[in-house]
């Protein structure tokens, strides 16, 4: 939302008042409170008939300061509120000092300094040691606005016809870039964009997002978390080119500035503030196969899919039943379609005993269709969201007469968990928590009447996924729970995992998905997936195969479509050649299986720190490389593997390697960065480069499925290692076994942790020479 018309004019219909003076600074228990009139005070008479803004700056934790701007403090601060510091708030002793530079508040490594001149509105955020200026609040950067503009202050005695906004404008440095704000599918660098944080079911080709996360990361070594689940409007260098404007409707605006100085350290501190991702089970890293959305299926169809995959040398670890495991017009009533699944418990049991699949997932959403068995019970007992007149809130969008589960009602939560447990009793191991974006804000009344319906719109995703995730944990154990969720807000990273939503079957949509995954990873989400081959439409064989290569190098990998299947033989008429869809899928699934010792250990490390596993933006690993902050067609998998997906049918690709030695995984050819490179690949490879000083542990060739012994018969590949290089060893339950590392004499230490006939290879792993003929070095 823009409040001005260029530099000189106020936007039509707006009245804007700015904090012009710092009239008084008061020390508080946790920091400083600034009384800021909306005009400069030179005499007592100047204090009359004007607004003031209170700016409270507090030490929240080491390296974290909160900034809250308030106009009328008597306005109710209704919930819901983000669940901050879920593991407990670290103790911090605020430090206040005064000098000729002004009044400074320090929270460990981060400080804010207020200019000593009352009439110079200037608040600088910087590292406490003075080495790193971050951002500032300068002249006309904190304010309030009315719409429409009142012509007389008396009119504000009745605010029913006015909207009131609070805004701040933090400075953007020259060359500074901004990233994150959720799973956004547009340009990776947000400078120049207007962004609204409001969950919507808009696909992957618009400015709407399923996952709006009110946190952004700056290339200058800090991040900003906006502490409201309500709608937030941002003008990122798009109202004033040198500022990021944040605005909300209401009487207060609060955000936290988080210092690094590295982006990884910013995310670590952000994870302390909003929560660390849970660890996911090893089996979830394997290949997931769906029935597709609208296609018909029954036990025979499901078995034919899985038997066909096995015949074509691809192991499926998780089979997913999408919407039509329930009858049409009944979603979600938790009742299997008895015509197609007369005995679902027995069917699921047979499926697992066959060895065709390890785990089973089913689709649900928080919407209860009127014609389903669950609706009457839920409506009568008050488990559904209501209108203000007491009616159940319903509409016919998506499902006829659907209502929405009211997760603010403890009894509704209990009932919903009972429904889930009935699925678990039938053998369901994990849940796809779809939807949760279209949550109404008008003419609604939640069970908890203290809540603000507008704030509930985004926050609903947190409650929904929390309920299902914790139900899975209660049934299967803390580290065995996993979702496949579409909607999210800040904090939802605690309930992994999420996928990218409804993308088209085009190379452009694959690139959109890459950008979405990169952005979401910068919001603390460790695990992410997408619909391999695209969801909407019918992918051409070449698109499917390029997407398979990309999708199997994401943390989680799922084949899923809308009106067509994604089993490979339906894509290319069962081409059995080495370059066909089936062999391509088999090869990439086998590669991910071999990478499991690395992926699982890196996933645990990433979750502990609030980092993305894959897709990890290159700038997280190389923050001093300016080019890295603009790379949105490639990513890291953990800290050692660099991936550049291919978007051209020809197989040509251009990519960037940061400074250092990089070894092609497929050929062991070494490239020296920094620099741009071009290659041409067949369908069995892409630019997959291993960073120097890496110990890469690979599972034994030929193993099927993601779960096996990650220290038995492994290959330990050394990539230009030096003293201190290391690799963590985990078993397939996530237990830490120890560390392999390079000692002072250059020898590999910790080999006693390995079992069976392990091998060690120098400067690369044992490659398949056939790749040399399919990779062109352009």
Task: Respond yes or no on whether the N-terminal peptide bond of residue 647 is cis (omega within 30° of 0).
Answer: no
Q: Can you read off the two tokens belonging to residue 418?
A: 């009972």
Contact 246, 232 (CB under 8 A): yes
The neighbouring-strand residues paired with 31 are 58
* Nearest residue to 284 (alpha-carbon basis) of 40, 101, 472: 472
Torsion of CA 742, 747, 748, 751, to 10 degrees: -140
Catalytic residue, from 58, 429, 437, 504: name it: 437
Which of helix, strand or coil describes residue 219?
Answer: coil
**Rounded distance between C-alpha atoms, residue 508 and residue 514, angstroms:** 10
Q: What is the DSSP string of 264-281?
A: HHHHHHHHHHH-PPPP--
**Residue 620 in contact with residue 264, Cβ under 8 Å?**
yes
Pairing of strands 193-197, 163-171: unpaired
Which class for 395: exposed (0-12), middle (13-18), buried (19 or more C-beta within 10 A)?
middle
Q: Which helix (H) or strand (E) holds 346?
A: helix 344-353
What does the H/E/C string look like for 615-637?
A: CECHHHHCCCCHHHHHCCCCEEE
Dihedral sign (CA 298, 301, 303, 306): negative
**Nearest CA among 92, 130, 91 for reference residue 113:** 130
**Closest alpha carbon to 258 in 452, 445, 107, 373:** 107
- Which structure tokens are listed for 679? 């290659």
| Strand intervals (E) in 110-172 | 110-114, 123-127, 133-137, 142-147, 163-171
Identify the DSSP state of 492: G
Asked if omega into 552 is within 30° of 0 (cis), the reply is: no
- What is the Rg, in whole angstroms, of the alpha carbon atoms belonging to the chain? 27
Output the CA angle 333-335-340, nearest 5 degrees: 135
Provide the 10 A C-beta neighbour count for residue 412. 20
Closest CA to 547 of 537, 536, 558, 562: 558
Which of 690, 211, 95 lies closest to 497 in space, CA to CA? 211
**Intra-chain end-to-end CA distance of the chain, in Å:** 46
Token pair in block for residue 375:
């609706």
Rounded distance between C-alpha atoms, residue 121 and residue 254, angstroms: 19
The pair of structure tokens assigned to 362 is: 């089913």
Q: Are the C-beta atoms of 593 and 705 separated by less than 8 Å?
A: yes
Residue 174 CA to its chain's centroid (Å): 28
State residue 701 phi and psi, 5-degree precision. -60, 145
Would you say 697 and 650 are in contact if contact means Cβ atoms under 8 Å apart?
no
Dmax (CA) for the chain in angstroms is 87
φ, ψ at 176 (rounded to 5°): -70, 140
Does residue 502 have an active-site annotation? yes
Dump the DSSP string for 30-50. Answer: SEEEEEEESS--SSGGGGSS-
Rounded Cα–Cα distance for residues 277 and 39 (Å) = 46
SS3 464: helix
Among 20, 176, 183, 434, the one annotated catalytic: 434
Q: For residue 437, indicate whether it is catalytic.
A: yes
Q: Is 5 a residue of the active site?
A: no
Which is the catalytic residue, given 176, 502, 536, 621?
502
Q: Which residues are catalytic?
A: 434, 437, 502
């Amino acid at each position: 939302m823009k409040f001005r018309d260029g530099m000189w004019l106020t936007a039509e219909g707006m009245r804007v008042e700015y904090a012009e003076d710092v009239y008084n600074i008061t020390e508080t228990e946790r920091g400083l409170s600034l009384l800021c009139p909306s005009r400069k005070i030179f005499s007592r008479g100047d204090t009359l008939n004007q607004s003031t803004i209170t700016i409270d700056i507090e030490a929240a934790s080491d390296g974290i300061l909160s900034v809250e701007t308030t106009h009328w403090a008597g306005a109710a601060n209704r919930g819901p509120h983000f669940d901050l510091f879920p593991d407990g708030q670290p103790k911090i002793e605020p430090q206040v000092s005064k000098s000729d530079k002004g009044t400074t508040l320090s929270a460990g490594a981060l400080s804010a300094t207020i200019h000593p001149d009352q009439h110079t509105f200037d608040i600088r955020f910087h590292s406490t040691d003075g080495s790193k200026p971050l951002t500032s609040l300068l002249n006309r950067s904190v304010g309030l606005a009315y719409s429409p503009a009142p012509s007389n202050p008396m009119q504000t005695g009745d605010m029913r016809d006015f909207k009131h906004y609070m805004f701040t404008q933090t400075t953007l440095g020259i060359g500074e870039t901004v990233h994150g704000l959720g799973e956004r599918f547009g340009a990776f660098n947000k400078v120049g964009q207007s962004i609204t944080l409001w969950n919507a079911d808009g696909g992957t080709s618009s400015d709407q997002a399923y996952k709006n996360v009110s946190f952004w990361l700056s290339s200058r070594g800090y991040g900003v978390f906006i502490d409201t689940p309500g709608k937030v409007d941002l003008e990122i260098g798009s109202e004033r080119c040198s500022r990021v404007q944040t605005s909300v409707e209401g009487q207060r605006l609060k955000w936290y500035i988080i210092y690094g100085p590295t982006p990884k350290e910013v995310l670590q501190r952000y994870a302390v503030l909003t929560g660390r991702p849970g660890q996911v089970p090893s089996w979830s890293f394997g290949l997931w196969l769906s029935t597709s959305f609208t296609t018909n299926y029954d036990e025979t169809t499901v078995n034919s899919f899985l038997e066909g995959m096995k015949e074509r040398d691809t192991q499926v670890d998780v089979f997913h039943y999408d919407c039509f495991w329930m009858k049409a017009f009944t979603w979600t009533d938790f009742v299997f379609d008895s015509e197609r699944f007369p005995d679902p418990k027995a069917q699921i049991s047979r499926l697992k005993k066959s060895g065709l699949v390890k785990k089973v997932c089913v689709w649900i959403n928080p919407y209860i269709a009127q014609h389903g068995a669950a609706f009457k019970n839920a409506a009568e007992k008050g488990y559904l969201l209501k209108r203000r007149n007491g009616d159940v809130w319903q509409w016919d969008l998506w499902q006829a007469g659907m209502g929405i589960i009211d997760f603010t009602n403890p009894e509704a939560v209990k009932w919903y968990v009972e429904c889930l447990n009935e699925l678990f009793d039938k053998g369901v191991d994990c849940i796809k928590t779809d939807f949760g974006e279209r949550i109404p804000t008008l003419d609604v009344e939640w069970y908890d009447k203290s809540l603000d319906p507008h704030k509930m719109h985004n926050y609903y995703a947190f409650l929904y996924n929390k309920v299902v995730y914790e139900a899975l944990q209660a049934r299967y154990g803390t580290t065995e729970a996993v979702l496949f969720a579409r909607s999210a807000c800040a904090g939802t990273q605690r309930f992994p995992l999420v996928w990218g939503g409804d993308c088209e079957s085009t190379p452009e949509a694959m690139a959109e998905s890459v950008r979405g995954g990169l952005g979401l990873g910068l919001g603390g989400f460790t695990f992410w997936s997408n619909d391999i081959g695209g969801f909407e439409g019918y992918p051409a064989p070449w698109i499917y195969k390029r997407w398979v290569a990309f999708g199997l190098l994401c943390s989680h990998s799922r084949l899923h479509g809308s009106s067509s299947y994604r089993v490979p033989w339906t894509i290319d008429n069962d081409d059995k050649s080495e370059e066909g869809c089936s062999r391509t899928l088999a090869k990439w699934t086998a590669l991910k299986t071999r990478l499991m010792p690395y992926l699982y250990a890196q996933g645990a490390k990433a979750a502990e720190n609030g980092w993305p596993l894959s897709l990890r933006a290159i700038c997280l690993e190389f923050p001093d490389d300016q080019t890295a902050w603009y790379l949105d067609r490639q990513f890291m998998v953990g800290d050692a593997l660099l991936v550049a997906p291919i978007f051209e049918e020809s197989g040509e690709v251009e990519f960037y390697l940061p400074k250092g030695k990089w070894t092609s995984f497929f050929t062991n050819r070494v490239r020296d960065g920094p620099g741009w490179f071009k290659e041409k690949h067949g369908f069995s490879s892409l630019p997959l480069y291993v960073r120097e000083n890496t110990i890469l542990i690979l599972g034994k060739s030929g193993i099927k499925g993601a779960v096996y012994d990650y220290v038995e018969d492994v290959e330990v590949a050394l990539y230009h290692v030096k003293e201190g290089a290391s690799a963590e060893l985990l078993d397939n339950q996530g237990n830490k076994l120890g560390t392999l590392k390079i000692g002072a004499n250059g020898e590999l230490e910790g080999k006693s942790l390995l079992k069976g006939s392990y091998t060690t290879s120098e400067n690369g792993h044992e490659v398949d020479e056939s790749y040399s003929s399919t990779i062109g070095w352009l």
